[in-house]
Amino acid sequence: MQLVPRTISEDEPCVRCVMHPMMYSESKQRLKREAVLPAPNRRDVSLLRLNYTNIDFCILHGKKLSNNSISFKCLATLYGKDLKELNDLSDSKDTHWAGIKSEIIYGPMHQGKYVLDKDVFVDDDSVELPMHADLTYNTTNEGDVSTRMRKYASQLVKKMEVIHKEG
């Protein structure tokens, strides 16, 4: 059994299941900043750690998230090193996102709840999403902070790579 480590390296690929139309522009054929923006009054965005799953699982997971108003569109990778680069720039008053930072945090889940009280293994049937992690911002998406957060997300999404696309 393979342990899912609590530490996530800067070089570890994490995957975002991108939904259309909220997170992807068909006309421009690219990711929107909303792909990495938390929902209002939240500070986290769900990711899957690719080292502890596979592309097929991620695609299936994305399709399960689809409903009448949104559909699974693609998978895009995100790395901690990209966050570090933006976070370092965030310390500068010259950026439009000064003070906004994020990190990728360990967050295995089962039935919509975090499983943080025990070691989690890839093949553990008692944990539905052992490979789940969160892109977590240092602030909540609300009020005047959200403008800076949108600027940060716009920069972050430029660093992401689409690794699978539907139709």
pLDDT for the residue numbered 78: 97
pLDDT for the residue numbered 167: 77
Tens-place pLDDT, residues 4-51: 999 999 999 999 999 999 999 999 999 999 999 999 999 999 999 999
Dihedral sign, Cα of residue 18, residue 19, residue 20, residue 22: negative
In angstroms, what is the C-alpha Rg of the chain?
16
pLDDT for the residue numbered 146: 85
pLDDT for the residue numbered 9: 97
